[in-house]
Amino acid sequence: MPQRQSSGSLSRRTFLQAAGTAAAAFPLVSPAWIKAAEAPSERIRVAFIGTGNQGMLLLRNFLKFDLGDVVAVCDVNQGSYGYKEESHFYGREPAQQLVNEHYTKNRTKGTWKSCQAFTDFRDVLALPDVDAVFLVVPDHWHAAMTLLAAAAGKNIYCEKPASLHVVEGREMVNAVRKHKVLFQVGSHERSNPVSQFICEAVQAGRIGEVKKVITKVGYNNKVGPGPGWKPMPVPSTFDYETWLGPAPEAPYHVDRCLYRFRFNYDYSGGQITNFGAHCNDMAQWALGLDQSGPVEVECLDAKFLPEGSLFNTATETRFRCKYANGLELLCESGPEQVQVRFEGTDGWLQTGYKGTTASSPNLLEGLPQKNGTDGLDPHSRHMRAFVTSVKAGKEPAANVEVGHSSATLCHLANVAIRQFPKTGPGHVLKWDPKAERFSNDDDANAMLDVKWREPWQSVRG
């Protein structure tokens, strides 16, 4: 099997020390987008950090539509089965093989030579010829990787949700703006022609004044071990310590990692941040509130697994958000057919994975296909939008503020949901979108952030 390669140009210790004082360490680094803007016809060189379930999907599509040169891949897993589907064999070596085989067969332009494979993402950030990184890793890694990538002058495509906690999301915004790099969150509905049509129709007033918005998040699609579960030996091909990274120390279990990370609050926010990062993003987008947020959040219902289960995110939930203009958003667990429904004074529109419907056929006149006229699926179109932004040096539509706002809505909901077993319904959290603080609950404010394990906490400065 191919061995891990390292650039050797910057040690991990040195990188962490530098990142802790990023302004001093990287004052003269020219952001890659500035260089790209000078020659927009050049192919950008990218690295994929995280080559699991979603990472391999994006990587395949990036190669299929020839969006640039993949020069490096990175993952803490050398290669294994056991992702979303047991038959999927993913990791850094399968990804490296995929890239090398693709370019060997299909290379027609550019100067690409070979794809390097790394275990540690800091080795990737030390590569001088990488214009952009795709961060397709568990949510608890998004902030730390973004802070370091921004300090290294790399443009960033970060999977949704942008962050794991509100405070670190704001730090991501600050780092991206400070170092003048481009950031696009992976909310690919922003590049779905159908979703664009629906949101633009609502903005244009085609259903009149919006009175209510309903969003749906799917039920949990995996089952983990219950109380009394036992730790498992760490596979020799898996760097579990690095996988944990800034998260709390915890014994290894196969269901803690890979695809199933999303069902543990140490690494993700359950289906609220998984599906919710799409549907709630669409809601705020259509309402023109995608760089703001609600003023009230209330959990109406929540169900959890028994205490001591490995999975601890809510299995079912309903919550409501109220905005300063009086409009309410209701989000609830349910079948995945519907993502978002807008109800107005002159009709309603709804869209989801099973199609788009409306109160009147004329509301759907001009509805495009989700793969458009060029055949690109929303994931690929979203990546192409990012590449185009990097080449032109222009801000992407799903920028860092948008990603932070949509993630924040989901995080506020999870704060209320996690309090629900103690508070029950009727406990309304008052939120200040500008201060990014609750005005009536200090316990809730304490849940807006978490201290990272060292050495990662020092990355935050």
Query: What domains appear along the chain, each with residue ranges and CATH number?
Result: 13-20+28-189 (3.40.50.720), 193-367+401-460 (3.30.360.10)
pTM: 0.91
Res 2 pLDDT > 50: no
Q: How confident is the model at residue 461 (pLDDT cuts 50, 70, 90)?
A: confident
- Tokens coding 412: 């506020």
- Res. 108 pLDDT band, cuts 50 70 90: low
Region 274-292 average pLDDT? 95
Instruction: Give 311-324 pLDDT, tens digit per residue.
Output: 999 999 999 999 99
Q: Averaged over 6-22, what is the pLDDT? A: 40
Q: Is 286 helix (H, G, I), strand (E, B) or coil?
A: helix
Better-scored residue on pLDDT, 6 or 356? 356
pLDDT at 44 over 80: yes
pLDDT of residue 194: 97
Buried b (16+ CB within 10 A) or exposed e, 126-148: bbeebbbbbbbbbbbbbbbbbbb
pLDDT for position 5:
35
Residue predicted with more confidence, 397 or 178? 178
- What was the pLDDT predicted at 11? 44
Is residue 41 scored above 70 in pLDDT?
A: no
Residue 344 phi/psi, 5-degree rounding, is -130, 180
The rounded distance, in Å, linking the Cα atoms of 94 and 123 is 19
Q: Number of helices and strands (H, E) in the chain? A: 15, 15
